[in-house]
Amino acid sequence: MDGFIWIFLLKCLLVISISQCKVVNTTEYSPAVYDTLVELTKFCSVATCIKYSGDNKAELQKKLPPDLQEGYEIYKVFELNGIKSGSGYIALDHNGGRILIVFRGSSSTVDYFYDLNAIPVPYKPLATPKDSSIDECSSCITHQGFYTSFIQLYEKVIPVVKDLKKMKKFINYKVVVTGHSLGGALSTLAGIELQLLGYEPLVVAIAAPKIGSPIMAQWIDQIFQTESHIDSIAFANGDLSEGGYYRIDHEGDYVPLLPPTAIYAHGGARFYIGPIELPHLKENTFFTGSYQYTSVSEQLLKDIRKGENPQKRHQHTRYFMPTSRCK
Ligand SMILES: *[C@@H]1O[C@H](CO)[C@@H](O)[C@H](O)[C@H]1NC(C)=O
């Protein structure tokens, strides 16, 4: 048995000894949860409209869907050496009192994640934790490609959020981080920093690849208190306003299986969409709590490596709506 499965089982045994290892698989969560997932996916689709360098706030504002116009303000567009290596925007929701940080997925192809540098490197958060008792996960391993991009993005994003949160007007605004695909990986790394800074963000990573080692996944679940969020959503009709780290994936999308090695694993509480074709209704969107993929089969790997396959591209970009097209 490989190390990855072992760690998962060990974690499960540990949980059994404390409470019980709950298997969660339900569509009976609060409708507000589903609405938030769909809404955040809309913000991710808007991120694909970031077309050129420079501050194109006004352009992007026009791309917000009609139901997200009134009371929503694109505050800042950020990018890193061109939109392909990492970009996104910060928006303010004055109705709901939220600061939204949305990372753009740079590519809709599965191949992209093979080109990217998947070399495991030591991880260290960039922010100094507000709570000095938080261990900085000295044995965490992350993915060099995502981490390198994030380190460069950090200065363009995190200080802006800090400054906003210092302003009286926004002091009570909740912090929300989201992104699709590569954007999902970056949203996880940004979410960790914001959690360490004490903002208790809601992080929703959509169709995201794995970003760190199993030990890092466990550490992420510790700092976000994933177990208690799972209980709240699955058993206490909780919604997403309390923050936490969530992922969405679906049948047939290979990107969440990547990198296809036990060196990497996912943390977070997971929503799973059954059908590939739209519409993706609440009854198709299962909350499964903590979830690890079993190892990726050789056949599946071959399939993934076959390269550009329109079918796979299609699956990666269907999450409640087409997610890779700027409308
Ligand atoms: C959750 O339940 C659905 C419907 O019964 C099923 O299709 C799916 O495979 C289950 N998922 C898990 C992870 O058990």
Quote the tokens at residue 289: 């709590």
**Block residue for tokens 């169709």:** 207
Q: How far is the CA of 204 from the centre of ligand 1 (A)?
A: 21
Which residue did the predictor score with more confidence, 147 or 261?
Answer: 147
Report whether pLDDT(110) > 60.
no
Given the candidates 3.40.50.2020, 1.10.10.10, 3.40.50.720, 3.40.50.1820, the CATH classification of the domain at 25-322 is 3.40.50.1820
Q: Which of 23, 24, 25 should be mutated for ligand 1, with most atoms under 8 A from CB?
A: 25
Q: How far is the CA of 281 from the centre of ligand 1 (A)?
A: 15
| Helix residue ranges per DSSP H, 87-143 | 112-115
Q: How far is the CA of 300 from the centre of ligand 1 (A)?
A: 20
Mean pLDDT of all residues in 151-169: 96
Q: Band the pLDDT of 186: cuts 50, 70, 90.
A: very high
Pocket of ligand 1 (CB under 6 A): 25, 286, 288
Query: Domain map of the chain by residue range?
Result: 25-322
Residue bearing the CA closest to ligand 1, atom 10: 25
Q: How far is the CA of 287 from the centre of ligand 1 (A)?
A: 10
Could you read off the pLDDT of 266-318 as tens digits, one per residue? Answer: 999 999 999 888 999 999 999 999 988 877 777 777 776 665 555 566 788 89
What pLDDT score was predicted for residue 264? 93
Mean pLDDT of all residues in 243-256: 91
Mean pLDDT of all residues in 243-247: 98
Could you read off the pLDDT of 200-223 as tens digits, one per residue? Answer: 999 999 999 999 999 999 999 999
Give the pTM: 0.91
DSSP single-letter state for residue 83:
G
Give me the amino acid identity at 283: E
What pLDDT score was predicted for residue 15? 47
DSSP structure string for 166-210: HSGGGTTPEEEEEEETHHHHHHHHHHHHHHHTT---EEEEESPPP
What pLDDT score was predicted for residue 114? 59
